[in-house]
Structure 1
Amino acid sequence: MHAMQYELTLPADYDMGVIRDRVTRVGRLLDDWEGLGLKAYLLRERGLRDSPVNQYAPFYLWNTVEGMNSFLWGGGFQRLGDDFGLPSVRQWTGLAYEEGGGSRARYAVRHRQRVTGGGRLADVVADAVGKARRLAAEDGAVLAAAAVDTSRWELVRFSLWEHDTPKADGDVFEVLHLSAPGRDRLPRGRQW
């Protein structure tokens, strides 16, 4: 599993209806993308749910590198680049994925955390795996994942929720659409 995200931080007075309309128009285009586990089309608006910014920030869980590369280099990503310029695309290697009991993803939480020296790496990732498992077991959780970027030594925890009071710490986003053609093929549990 590979995690990926880019963020478009927009002006404070930006009409976020433009992003909502865009997702309504193009969101379904990835509903059957080969190699994609899921893409959550995420939005946060300045002043809502403690957000300091207007931001469009889709989050992806990929089953295959080929699917991710096909999206980035084969045309799917080009539309975004043409409209907004090319954002930096963050990538993390999967550590854990767990399904929750919730059914409809309405909100997402992304928590990023630096991995600092001094501790055993095995303990750090074991903790991340355990947190993903605990998040997925919470009432209203749809799923939870953990991943790591070893170039920046950063962990990311990502979770989807069916209610607007998620039991997770981090940046809260509204889910505008969920494309999940390979969600059932995302490997469960620890990824090694």
Structure 2
Amino acid sequence: MIAMQYSFTLPADYDMTIIDRRIHDKGPMLDGFSNLGFKAYLSARKGEFGSRENLYAPFYLWKQPEGASDFLTGAGFEGLTQSFGWPQVRHWMVWNAEVADLRDAKFASCDILPIPAYAPLAEMRKEEVTRSDAEAARRGVLASISGFEPSGWSLVRFTLYRDMPLTSNGDQIYRVGHVSLP
């Protein structure tokens, strides 16, 4: 599995209802996409839930790399880049993915952490699987994903929630506008 996210930082005075409308109109187009685990259409408004910026930042879980490749080379992504620009697409090899019924997902959190040089990766993986499993067991958690990428050495922790999460570690909190499922 592969986790993937790109993010567009929008101007502070950007009318975020444009993003809400885009998610509403275009979100269902990815429902049933081949090799998709899920796509969470995420947005954040400056000043809401501690966000410092207006963001549009979808997060994907792909069952197979071909799904990500098909999406990124397809017309939908091309249209997105024509509207918002050419994003950096971050991706991680998934260490653990606990996913329940995502139809009630309303909020998400994402934390991207650096992995120190020479870190004990096998130990980190084991700890992340345990942490992700424990997170998934919490009330209101609908998905908990952890993974890593070895080119820039980062760790991702992504969680989908039914209700607004209580966080204290500075994770970016998003609203979920739509979830596309296989």
For the criterion TM > 0.5, the same-fold answer is yes
| Alignment RMSD | 1.6
Partner of 1:19: 19
How has the CA–CA distance of structure 1 residues 140 and 25 changed in structure 2, closer, same or farther, with 3 Å as cutoff?
A: same
Letter in 1 for 2:175: E
Partner of 1:175: 176
Report % sequence identity: 38
* Aligned-pair CA distance for 1:173: 0.4
Partner of 1:64: 64
Partner of 1:189: none
Which digits, 9 at most, give the CA deviation of each residue in 1:69-98, with x for residues without a partner? 111012221110111111111111111011
* Aligned-pair CA distance for 1:137: 0.7
* Aligned-pair CA distance for 1:64: 1.2
* Aligned-pair CA distance for 1:141: 0.3
How has the CA–CA distance of structure 1 residues 36 and 99 changed in structure 2, closer, same or farther, with 3 Å as cutoff?
A: closer
The 5-angstrom pairing of residues 131-142 of structure 1 reads: 131-142=131-142
SS at match of 1:111: strand
Which digits, 9 at most, give the CA deviation of each residue in 1:126-179, with x for residues without a partner? 111111111101110001010101101100011100001346841110000000
* Aligned-pair CA distance for 1:102: 7.6
TM-score relative to the length of structure 1:
0.89
SS at match of 1:38: strand
Partner of 1:90: 90
SS at match of 1:77: helix
| Aligned residue pairs, count | 181
Paired residues of 1:148 and 1:155 also in contact (CA < 8 A): yes
| Structure 2 spans left out of the alignment, 5+ residues | none
Aligned-partner Cα distance in 1 for 2:103–2:19: 24
How has the CA–CA distance of structure 1 residues 134 and 75 changed in structure 2, closer, same or farther, with 3 Å as cutoff?
A: same
Mean Cα deviation higher: 87-96 or 122-131: 122-131
Partner of 2:76: 76
Runs (4+) off by over 6 Å: none
Partner of 2:148: 148
Paired residues of 2:40 and 2:60 also in contact (CA < 8 A): yes
How has the CA–CA distance of structure 1 residues 27 and 4 changed in structure 2, closer, same or farther, with 3 Å as cutoff?
A: same
SS at match of 1:76: helix
Aligned-partner Cα distance in 2 for 1:152–1:75: 29
Partner of 2:3: 3
Letter in 2 for 1:145: I
Indicate yes or no: 2:154 matched with 1:163.
Answer: no
SS at match of 1:52: coil
How has the CA–CA distance of structure 1 residues 102 and 43 changed in structure 2, closer, same or farther, with 3 Å as cutoff?
A: closer
Partner of 1:51: 51
